[in-house]
Structure 1
């Protein structure tokens, strides 16, 4: 007898990590789904003993998958495994029927505890299920995307707790940009609105880069309406919000990245690169700062509002070999 496990995650690296961390004692027979739609198809066609589910996915995300399972009467036990660790996210998945929430990256010990009920039957099982993780190949970009997924979850959690809101987790983008392409991306993010931006350098053990946070004027106006900042003229509230949001997002994101890479980042003093500037003027102020970069792009949205905050991490080329070396353990075969 085997334990039939369905792992649903858009990240090939996350699927591989989870599969190879499953305890041998359960004799797992693993099936993969790259999004919730595929998972629903698998659940309708096959029987499973347990399902592991990511939240941030294209097509059908984790929340939509849980809702669809309820609609179709699919009752397999679901454990949500996600980098989105906001309290409201955890509460929401439990309301939708998940058995438990597990923070990425999941540890083998956590999986042993979760799968304890399957051990007694599976321990004497024969023949052994074929391990699937050893046959999977994961590339460098997938490695970066999964590491970014965990880091942006830390940042979203910090932002959610700071402002007592729910922050929607986006699908991150990782690209290599020339400066001209970077400015085009910023123009696209601005969407013809005036922007305010903060730039902050960071470094750690030879890895260096700059973080850029952008908030449109329309988002800033709505953000101020939901916050309880003093309105007595004693402070520049818009500047305070800009600095507070950048401190929360950038620090938490770098902390999440550093935890996975075994790095501690030092951050320079944040520099305001513009308030209420047309995007072309904001871009003009950046010229000469960057050349060719690996750009991590994350757009956060606050629930039940039109507020959007864009975070870009710009890593210089020279830093990449070190980052690759620090993260190589994620790709190691076991």
Structure 2
């Protein structure tokens, strides 16, 4: 039985590894891996992608652009989108662009098998003619090492998508997702990272602490003051009449985004977080003022930067998940267990 050319296109090595592991072991495929949409499109055009497992949020060229190019050039490829962006609008758009199915990350082996069978893509193994007939060999799957930063970024990518789906429903808009940025920050470096968010504007910020299973940290959600009225308008509030009303609005949004992200991370790592109540970290101030008040709480930290944008609007939220230095070893152990 000849192998089916399959492209697995995702910028995360961890996501590719998880997906390849989830493939039916008897499915005769020849696997080509692509780390971004441009590589994936080239592989498909080179005849290596009769079937394609495609992520959406990627550098160079995202999954939407790949689907648009395939459709525009009438390239025949059977595409299944596998993404952490689970917004209803995301699913609708990829189906409109020609994707045959949409799977939520991380896709289980059972769901992958069922989807391939439903689409008629899982080539059946021919029955053995006799007891003496040789068994059909399993196709060899590539294996590779995945670093901590890549793996943790993918875990946050999945959690970020779940939070975006809740935010999209609350605001009635399509949320544009970034590629999460994961770094170990010193205090000064964190100050510079937050300064990039500032751009000379006045800011308001909500913070929420969390702890559980040897992992602890603080989430920081930053809003540009110039955008708060637009956000209120999406929620049907014509005018914010007081700072207290504004605080309640920001803390409600903080609960949605921060809570959903932490829940997504906890579920993947099999931990349980206890979360503090959201609090205003600062209101109508410069980023330097936020840092001056809080820098003693952040020494060396593992930071995840996520910037949500609202399509068609100049509105975005900057979310920082800050894990204590002592949490890194526990996170590493959890991710190693997950990958094994």
Q: Same fold (TM over 0.5)?
A: yes
Query: In the TM superposition, what are the counterparts of 1:103-122 in structure 2 within 5 Å?
Result: 103-116=104-117, 117-122=120-125
Q: Aligned to 2:218, what secondary structure does the other structure show?
A: strand
Q: Aligned to 2:320, what secondary structure does the other structure show?
A: strand
Tell me which residue corresponds to 1:131.
141
In the TM superposition, what whole-angstrom CA distance separates every residue of 1:245-268 from its partner, at most 9, and x where no partner exists? 101000000000000011111111
Tell me which residue corresponds to 1:27.
28
Kept in 1, the 8 Å contact 2:209–2:217? The answer is yes
Kept in 2, the 8 Å contact 1:25–1:123? The answer is no
Q: Aligned to 1:245, what secondary structure does the other structure show?
A: helix
Q: Aligned to 1:32, what secondary structure does the other structure show?
A: strand
Partners of 1:232 and 1:44 in 2: how far apart?
A: 53
Kept in 1, the 8 Å contact 2:232–2:240? The answer is no
Tell me which residue corresponds to 2:249.
241
Instruction: Please list every run of 5 or more consecutive structure 1 residues that lacks an aligned counterpart in the other structure.
Output: none
Tell me which residue corresponds to 2:59.
58
Q: CA deviation at 1:25?
A: 2.2
Q: CA deviation at 1:44?
A: 1.2
The count of residues paired between Structure 1 and Structure 2 equals: 330
Partners of 2:126 and 2:220 in 1: how far apart?
A: 51
Q: Aligned to 2:260, what secondary structure does the other structure show?
A: helix
Kept in 2, the 8 Å contact 1:51–1:76? The answer is yes
Tell me which residue corresponds to 2:130.
none
Kept in 1, the 8 Å contact 2:206–2:250? The answer is yes
Distance change in 2, residues 1:185/1:303 (3 Å): same
Kept in 1, the 8 Å contact 2:209–2:275? The answer is yes
User: For the aligned residues, what is the CA RMSD?
Assistant: 1.8
Q: CA deviation at 1:230?
A: 6.1
Q: Aligned to 2:53, what secondary structure does the other structure show?
A: strand
Q: Aligned to 1:298, what secondary structure does the other structure show?
A: strand
Q: Aligned to 1:97, what secondary structure does the other structure show?
A: coil
Distance change in 2, residues 1:289/1:46 (3 Å): same
Kept in 1, the 8 Å contact 2:204–2:282? The answer is yes
Q: Using structure 2 for the length normalisation, give the TM-score.
A: 0.92
Tell me which residue corresponds to 2:12.
11
Distance change in 2, residues 1:2/1:232 (3 Å): closer
Instruction: Please list every run of 5 or more consecutive structure 2 residues that lacks an aligned counterpart in the other structure.
Output: 128-134
Q: Aligned to 2:296, what secondary structure does the other structure show?
A: coil
Tell me which residue corresponds to 1:39.
40
Q: CA deviation at 1:123?
A: 5.0
Kept in 2, the 8 Å contact 1:296–1:313? The answer is yes
Q: CA deviation at 1:194?
A: 0.5
Partners of 2:138 and 2:5 in 1: how far apart?
A: 12
Tell me if 1:258 matches 2:259. Answer: no
Distance change in 2, residues 1:74/1:164 (3 Å): same
Kept in 2, the 8 Å contact 1:260–1:327? The answer is no
In the TM superposition, what whole-angstrom CA distance separates every residue of 1:265-301 from its partner, at most 9, and x where no partner exists? 1111222111111222122121211110000110000
Tell me if 1:73 matches 2:74. Answer: yes
Partners of 2:277 and 2:208 in 1: how far apart?
A: 6
Partners of 2:338 and 2:292 in 1: how far apart?
A: 39
> Which ranges of 4 or more aligned residues in structure 1 deviate by more than 6 Å?
124-127
Partners of 1:303 and 1:257 in 2: how far apart?
A: 25
Distance change in 2, residues 1:294/1:120 (3 Å): closer
Distance change in 2, residues 1:3/1:276 (3 Å): same
Q: CA deviation at 1:128?
A: 5.5
Partners of 2:81 and 2:121 in 1: how far apart?
A: 18
Tell me which residue corresponds to 1:175.
183
Partners of 1:308 and 1:301 in 2: how far apart?
A: 4
Partners of 1:76 and 1:26 in 2: how far apart?
A: 18
Query: In the TM superposition, what are the counterparts of 1:110-259 in structure 2 within 5 Å?
Result: 110-116=111-117, 117-122=120-125, 129-132=139-142, 134=143, 136-229=144-237, 231=239, 233=241, 236-259=244-267
Kept in 2, the 8 Å contact 1:10–1:35? The answer is yes
Kept in 2, the 8 Å contact 1:25–1:119? The answer is no
